[in-house]
Structures are given as C-alpha cells and as structure tokens.
Amino acid sequence: GLDVPPFLATGEGAVVFSEQVRVAGGVLDPAATESPALAVARLGLARIDAAIDPAAVVLRYIRPPDAQLPGQR
C-alpha cells in the first residue's frame, strides 16, 4: 500500500497553522505557499499508479440531495 499521511495541507492557512497540522497528523506541503492547485496536481501525479478506472467508480448517496426540481419543495 501507499505510505501516505492522513492529509496534506497547503495554502496560506497551512503555513500559519503548520504546528496544528502536524499535531493533527498531517503534513505540510513543501510548496505550501504556491497555488493549491499545483499541490493537488502533484499529489495526483504521485499517486497515478494507484488510480482506478473512472468507469469503476460507483456513487453511494448516503442522504437525499439538497437540490430539488421546481415544485418539489
């Protein structure tokens, strides 16, 4: 399996609250001050081998949707 932390924190808040991130078991992205989109892209690329075929994804709704068609309210 992959050796990954519970979460990866990025962005200005991650830098400001880096100690809280670590205490909670997370890891501060080494490039946390860059665009969070870049961090997500790097993370996806690093885990590409663990990806599954999108057709194999099955949605499981655990509550009714918030959106309703007009007249259903």
pLDDT in tens, 50-70: 888 999 999 888 888 888 888
Q: Residue 63: what pLDDT?
A: 85
Q: Say if residues 31 and 11 touch (Cβ distance below 8 Å).
A: no
Q: Is the pTM of this model over 0.75?
A: no
Q: Is a pLDDT exceeding 80 seen at residue 72?
A: no
Query: How many beta carbons lie within 10 A of that of residue 44, not counting itself?
Result: 10
Q: Say if residues 9 and 26 touch (Cβ distance below 8 Å).
A: yes
Q: How far is CA 27 from CA 20, 39, 53, 67, 70, in A?
A: 10, 12, 28, 35, 44
CA dist., res. 44 & res. 4, Å (int): 12
pLDDT band at 73 (very low <50, low <70, confident <90, very high): low
